Amino acid sequence: MAFFKTQWRPEEVDLWTKEDWLAIILSPLAYIALFIGLALSMLLIPVGFVLLGIGIVLTWLMFRIIGPKLTAVSAEYEKKQKEYLERLQRIVTWED
Amino acid sequence: MIAFAFLDWFWLVMFVLLMVGCGILFYRLGRKSEADFFLAGRGLPWWLPASSVYATHTATDTPMWVSGVIYKYGMAGLWYTFFAGWCAISAFVSTRIFRRSLAYTQAEWQTLRFGGMASHLLRGWTAGWQVFMNMFILGWVGIAMGKLCHYVFGWPEWLGLILFSAICAVYVLAAGYWGVVMADFQQGVIAFIAIAIVSVWGIMAAGGPATIIAKLKAMGQGWRLNPLAFTGLSGGNFPFLWFVTMMVIAVIGGFGMGTSIDWYTEAQRIQSARSVKDASYSIWWGTALVLLRNSIWAGAILGFFVLFPNLTEVSQYEFAWYRIGFENMPVGMLGFFFAAIVAIHISTISSHLNLGAVYMTRDLYHHYINPRADDRKLVTVGRVSTLILLIGSFVFGSIMENITEWLIFALWIMAAGVWLPNILQVVWWRFNGWGYLSAWIANLIFSWLVVWVLPAFGLMPSLQDYQQFWILMGLGALIYIPVTFLTKHENMDHLVKYYVMSRPIGWWKPVRREAERRGLI
For B371-383, the pLDDT digits (tens) are 999 999 999 999 9
Measuring CA to CA, which residue among B81, B46, B52, B49 is closest to residue B293?
A: B81
Judged by CB atoms closer than 8 Å, whether chains meet at B78 and A35 is answered as: yes
With an 8 Å Cβ cutoff, is A93 touching chain B? yes
Judged by CB atoms closer than 8 Å, whether chains meet at A39 and B78 is answered as: yes
Q: HSE-up of B395 (CA within 13 Å, CB side)?
A: 9
Residue B9 has pLDDT above 60, yes or no: yes
Residue B384 to chain A, least CA–CA distance (Å): 20
Burial class (CB in 10 A: 0-12, 13-18, 19+), A3: exposed
Spatial contact of B386 and B173, defined as CB atoms under 8 Å apart:
yes
The whole-angstrom separation of Cα B296 and Cα B360 is 37
- The more confidently predicted of residues B452 and B101 is B101
Predicted-complex ipTM score? 0.94
The whole-angstrom separation of Cα B8 and Cα A86 is 51
How is residue A14 annotated by DSSP? T
Angle between helix B492-502 and helix B94-101 axes, rounded to 10 deg: 110
Spatial contact of B264 and B109, defined as CB atoms under 8 Å apart:
no
| Phi and psi angles of residue B44, each rounded to the nearest 5 degrees, phi first | -90, 140
Judged by CB atoms closer than 8 Å, whether chains meet at B96 and A73 is answered as: yes
Q: What is the mean pLDDT of residues B147-166?
A: 90
| Arithmetic mean of pLDDT over chain A | 92
Spatial contact of B190 and B15, defined as CB atoms under 8 Å apart:
yes
Q: Give domain status of residue B298, yes or no.
A: yes
Structural domain range at position B290: 6-403
Q: Give domain status of residue B216, yes or no.
A: yes
The whole-angstrom separation of Cα B499 and Cα A84 is 12
| Phi and psi angles of residue B324, each rounded to the nearest 5 degrees, phi first | -55, -45
- The more confidently predicted of residues A24 and B8 is A24
Q: What is the mean pLDDT of residues B104-112?
A: 96
Q: What is the mean pLDDT of residues B225-251?
A: 92
With an 8 Å Cβ cutoff, is A34 touching chain B? yes
Q: What is the mean pLDDT of residues A68-89?
A: 88
The whole-angstrom separation of Cα B81 and Cα B61 is 13
Residue B369 has pLDDT above 90, yes or no: yes
The whole-angstrom separation of Cα A67 and Cα A39 is 28
For residues B378-416, one letter each, b for 16 or more C-beta atoms within 10 angstroms of the residue's C-beta and e for the rest, the string is bbebbbebbebbbebbbebbbebeeeeeebeebebbbbb
**Which residue among A31, A70, A71 sits closest to B85, beta carbon to beta carbon?**
A31
Q: What is the mean pLDDT of residues B52-78?
A: 92
Provide, as residue numbers in chain B, all residues whose Cβ is less than 8 Å from the Cβ of A22. none
CA B52 vs CA A80, B184, B188, B436: distances in Å? 27, 5, 7, 30
Measuring CA to CA, which residue among B100, B393, B95 is closest to residue B263?
A: B95
Provide, as residue numbers in chain B, all residues whose Cβ is less than 8 Å from the Cβ of A73. 96, 276-277
The whole-angstrom separation of Cα B512 and Cα B302 is 53
The whole-angstrom separation of Cα B174 and Cα B22 is 9
Position B408 scores a pLDDT of 63
Query: How many other C-beta atoms are found inside a 10 Å radius of the C-beta of residue A82?
Result: 8
User: Model confidence at A91, in pLDDT bands (50, 70, 90)?
Assistant: confident
Q: HSE-up of B162 (CA within 13 Å, CB side)?
A: 9
User: Model confidence at B385, in pLDDT bands (50, 70, 90)?
Assistant: very high
The whole-angstrom separation of Cα B96 and Cα B415 is 22
| Arithmetic mean of pLDDT over chain B | 92
Return the residue in B276, B282, B375, B498 with the most chain A beta carbons within 10 A, the one to mutate for interface testing.
Answer: B276
**Which residue among A20, A38, A88 sits closest to B102, beta carbon to beta carbon?**
A88
Return the residue in A8, A14, A24 with the most chain B beta carbons within 10 A, the one to mutate for interface testing.
Answer: A24
User: Model confidence at B68, in pLDDT bands (50, 70, 90)?
Assistant: very high
Judged by CB atoms closer than 8 Å, whether chains meet at B227 and A36 is answered as: yes
Position A43 scores a pLDDT of 97
Position B24 scores a pLDDT of 77
| Contact residues for B7 (Cβ-Cβ < 8 A; gap 6+) | B331, B332, B335
Q: Give domain status of residue B442, yes or no.
A: no
Residue B210 to chain A, least CA–CA distance (Å): 7
How is residue B273 annotated by DSSP? B
Position B380 scores a pLDDT of 96
Structurally, chain B folds into a number of domains equal to: 1
Residue B138 has pLDDT above 90, yes or no: yes
| Phi and psi angles of residue B318, each rounded to the nearest 5 degrees, phi first | -70, -15
Position B23 scores a pLDDT of 73
Give the CATH number, domain containing residue B19: 1.20.1730.10
The whole-angstrom separation of Cα B207 and Cα B505 is 51
The whole-angstrom separation of Cα B107 and Cα B436 is 13
**Least CA distance to A20: which residue of chain B?**
B92
The whole-angstrom separation of Cα B115 and Cα B220 is 60
How is residue B459 annotated by DSSP? S
How is residue B418 annotated by DSSP? T
Provide, as residue numbers in chain B, all residues whose Cβ is less than 8 Å from the Cβ of A88. 102-103, 108, 112
- The more confidently predicted of residues B398 and B112 is B112
Position B442 scores a pLDDT of 93
Q: Which amino acid is at B197?
A: I
Q: Is B275 helix (H, G, I), strand (E, B) or coil?
A: coil
Above pLDDT 70, what percent of chain B?
A: 97
**Which residue among B209, B275, B372 sits closest to A78, beta carbon to beta carbon?**
B275
Q: What is the mean pLDDT of residues B348-359?
A: 96
With an 8 Å Cβ cutoff, is A23 touching chain B? yes
Helical segments of B74-115, H only: 87-90, 94-101, 106-113
Q: Which amino acid is at B118?
A: A
With an 8 Å Cβ cutoff, is A39 touching chain B? yes
Position B20 scores a pLDDT of 81
Q: Give domain status of residue B154, yes or no.
A: yes
For residues B87-110, one letter each, b for 16 or more C-beta atoms within 10 angstroms of the residue's C-beta and e for the rest, the string is bbbbbbbbbbbbbbbbbbbbbbbb
- The more confidently predicted of residues B413 and B222 is B222
**Least CA distance to A43: which residue of chain B?**
B209
Residue B412 has pLDDT above 70, yes or no: no
pLDDT tens string B464-511: 888 999 999 999 999 999 999 999 999 999 999 999 999 999 999 999
Residue B62 has pLDDT above 80, yes or no: yes
Residue A28 to chain B, least CA–CA distance (Å): 5
Helical segments of B428-517, H only: 433-447, 454-456, 465-486, 492-502, 509-517
User: Model confidence at B407, in pLDDT bands (50, 70, 90)?
Assistant: low
Angle at B38 between CA B34 and CA B40, to 5 degrees: 95
pLDDT tens string B164-201: 999 999 999 999 999 999 999 988 998 899 999 999 99
Q: HSE-up of B409 (CA within 13 Å, CB side)?
A: 15
Judged by CB atoms closer than 8 Å, whether chains meet at B210 and A44 is answered as: yes
The whole-angstrom separation of Cα B73 and Cα B236 is 11
Residue B139 to chain A, least CA–CA distance (Å): 30
Secondary structure percentages of chain B, helix, strand, coil, to 5: 80, 0, 20
Judged by CB atoms closer than 8 Å, whether chains meet at A27 and B225 is answered as: no
